Structure 1
């Protein structure tokens, strides 16, 4: 099981990465398409809202540093 405190919504990730929610969604979709992230790392909860685990957050951090 995953600790619920290690699950983030789009807005929280955007705040942590200092990005807009729309940018986080675009990056997430790109990483899903590339196969870097899987459905175990991130999933869509509602339109415009995704749930992220720690690995997804780290992959997004890595992507924006490149």
Structure 2
């Protein structure tokens, strides 16, 4: 999966989560390996206004 594909899927995932649309969430992650899905989720977090796990947060301190 390229970086561009990851960003596209992350944007789709963020939109689906914002709309609380479970079928769209599943579609955004469909066909991905667990590692790819993890990358997509990590890219989607800042798009939704959250902190990137790489920067640290309450769950995963830097």
TM-score range, shorter chain: 0.3 to 0.5
User: Whose RCO is larger (CA < 8 A, sep 6+)?
Assistant: 1
Structure having the higher helix fraction is 2
- TM-score by length of structure 1 reads 0.31
Q: Which has the larger radius of gyration?
A: 2
- TM-score by length of structure 2 reads 0.32
Structure having the higher strand fraction is 1
